[in-house]
């Protein structure tokens, strides 16, 4: 079967965009199945950087179909900005399809994301304020507006009025906020509707026909396992399912039609926003990782929290997503470290565990059990064969595979396409 899911194993920003772009050279189609413009996927081609938010990371190949699936929360404003930016850079944008079932991010979603965070005060989640949580809330509350509603002028005018009346009531009652203006929103979104209509279709039929025809399809996860609303560090999570199972509901693909799953693993660990992070290094090691890796968010520019690799987290991701192999990224950032640590278990109340506690209270108490590795001094960014990696780098990688019980598939040693070492030649 020629369907491959690319999923993040940690707290996001593992380098999913780079891996999707690399594998997209062989793919017919690339599909986003969850999340929205909270994603920031950076793709570097010949030294040029593209920061993608809603756009699937297959966009840089002419002729590759790029699909925004039904499970995505779709912000037309961001989408059209991305289209314009791509066109200006000479990128062909004619091969994009948007699901008619995807939910639309409306102005009240972005506003409520911001107001909700302010109201939480010290307990804020640290969201990207892109309206993601409120849009998924409305989907579950059955007051969402879908892309098929947006492009139907009459339907949209009616639905928008109905929902806005409710929202304005809530804005006043909860936040004492002035009402949003119906006419303005209607005009703005009618303009978007006209522009996006040519891209809209039934992506479920389209994708299933492609799967049946044996086309090569990549499913591009956004966010990651530890931000999954069920499996992550709830409530410090996003509102969707980044794990591979998210493909079934977010793209309309049956479980038995998923071929392979690649888990993207950053060689160390980062997190943006609040919430538990057992291996976080709030010291000069964390600063060194942040500086070496330029760890600042693509979407918000916030400094990312940094720490050592947590193999318990990666193992958990492996179980949840059925990961066949790992794509380890940013190994080059660890060049020059005297010592590298890997958390292989946790100690809690005198007991050694390796599963992820559900309770944040317990998770806050866990002490990582570290194994220490001697670093390597060589610059590995020009290495293209696994055998040529420094012995100490291979020891680190092989121990990672052993602890997580997931084999090595790809090793990435730089942001560019060619800075990639293939271990498993049969990913597609
Ligand atoms: P994503 O959200 O998972 O796609 O990851 P981001 O794009 O937010 O962050 C990953 C960053 O690392 C981007 O700037 C990539 O260009 C960059 N990157 C990806 N792989 C590598 C690598 O192997 N080495 C280095 N140095 N940078 C990488
Ligand atoms: P990519 O796809 C890293 C985090 C936010 C916040 C939490 C909830 O680039 O890996 P949300 O706006 O989704 O309601 O915020 O999730 N978050 C991410 N962190 N990478 C991402 O995406 C993220 N998308 C959301 O920082 O803690
Ligand atoms: Mg990112």
Give tens-digit pLDDT for 215-240. Answer: 999 999 999 999 999 999 999 999 99
Cα–Cα distance, 402 to 206 (Å, whole number): 39
> Residue 403's pLDDT is what?
98
Among the bound ligands, name the one nearest to the CA of residue 264.
1
Question: What would the pLDDT profile of 348-392 be if each residue is shown by its tens digit?
Answer: 999 999 999 999 999 999 999 999 999 999 999 999 999 999 999
pLDDT on residue 299: 65
Q: Whose CA is nearest to atom 2 of ligand 1?
A: 13
Q: 51: how many CB neighbours lie within 10 A of its CB?
A: 15
Q: Against a cut of 0.85, is the pTM above it?
A: yes
* 272 CB near ligand 2 (under 6 Å): yes
Distance (Å, whole) CA 365 – CA 346? 10
DSSP 306: E
Ligand 2 nearest atom to the CA of residue 130, by list position: 12
Q: Is the CB of 13 under 6 A from ligand 2?
A: yes
pLDDT value for 168: 98
pLDDT of 408 reads 98
Query: Distance from the CA of 127 to the center of ligand 3, in angstroms?
Result: 13
**Strands 339-348, 367-374: pairing kind:** antiparallel
The reply to whether ligand 2 has any atom less than 6 angstroms from the CB of 7 is no
Atom index in ligand 1 nearest the CA of residue 293 equals 26
In the numeric block, which tokens belong to residue 110?
A: 């972005």
Predicted pLDDT at 1: 65
**pLDDT score, position 298:** 63
* Parts of the chain with a pLDDT under 50: none
**Among 413, 404, 341, CA closest to 382:** 413
Q: Are 380 and 387 in contact (CB under 8 A)?
A: no
The tokens 């479920």 sit on which residue? Answer: 204
Q: Nearest C-alpha to atom 25 of ligand 1 is from which residue? A: 414
């Amino acid at each position: 079967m020629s369907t491959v899911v690319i999923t993040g194993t940690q707290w996001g920003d593992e380098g999913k965009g780079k891996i999707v772009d690399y594998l997209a050279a062989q793919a017919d189609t690339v599909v986003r199945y969850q999340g929205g413009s909270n994603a920031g996927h950076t793709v570097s081609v010949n030294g040029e950087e593209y920061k993608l938010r809603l756009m699937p990371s297959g966009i840089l190949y002419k002729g590759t179909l790029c699909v925004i699936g039904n499970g995505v929360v779709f912000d037309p404003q961001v989408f059209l900005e991305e289209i314009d930016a791509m066109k200006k850079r000479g990128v062909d944008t004619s091969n994009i399809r948007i699901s008619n079932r995807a939910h639309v991010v409306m102005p009240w979603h972005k506003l409520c994301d911001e107001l909700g965070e302010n109201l939480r005060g010290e307990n804020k989640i640290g969201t990207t304020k892109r309206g993601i949580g409120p849009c998924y809330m409305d989907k579950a509350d059955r007051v969402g507006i879908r892309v098929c509603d947006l492009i139907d002028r009459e339907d949209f005018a009616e639905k928008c009025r109905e929902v806005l009346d409710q929202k304005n009531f809530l804005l006043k009652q909860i936040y004492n906020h002035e009402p949003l203006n119906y006419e303005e929103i209607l005009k703005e979104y009618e303009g978007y509707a006209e522009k996006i209509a040519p891209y809209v279709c039934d992506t479920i039929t389209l994708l299933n026909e492609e799967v049946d025809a044996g086309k090569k399809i990549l499913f591009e996860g956004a966010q990651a396992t530890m931000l999954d609303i069920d499996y992550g560090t709830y409530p410090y999570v996003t509102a969707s399912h980044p794990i591979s199972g998210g493909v079934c509901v977010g793209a309309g693909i049956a479980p038995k039609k998923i071929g392979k799953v690649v888990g993207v693993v950053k060689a160390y660990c980062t997190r943006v926003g609040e919430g538990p992070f057992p291996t976080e290094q709030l010291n000069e090691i964390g600063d060194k990782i942040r500086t070496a890796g330029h760890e600042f968010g693509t979407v918000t520019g916030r400094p990312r929290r940094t720490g050592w690799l947590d193999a318990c987290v990666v193992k958990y991701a492996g179980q949840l997503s059925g990961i066949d192999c790992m794509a380890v990224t940013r190994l080059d950032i660890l060049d020059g470290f005297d010592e590298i640590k890997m958390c292989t278990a946790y100690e809690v109340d005198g007991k050694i565990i390796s599963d992820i506690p559900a309770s944040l209270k317990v998770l806050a108490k866990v002490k990582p059990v570290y194994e220490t590795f001697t670093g390597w001094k060589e610059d590995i960014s020009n290495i293209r064969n696994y055998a040529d990696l420094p012995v100490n780098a291979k020891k680190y990688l092989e121990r990672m595979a052993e602890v997580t019980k997931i084999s090595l598939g790809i090793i990435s040693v730089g942001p560019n396409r060619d800075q990639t070492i293939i271990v498993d030649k049969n990913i597609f």
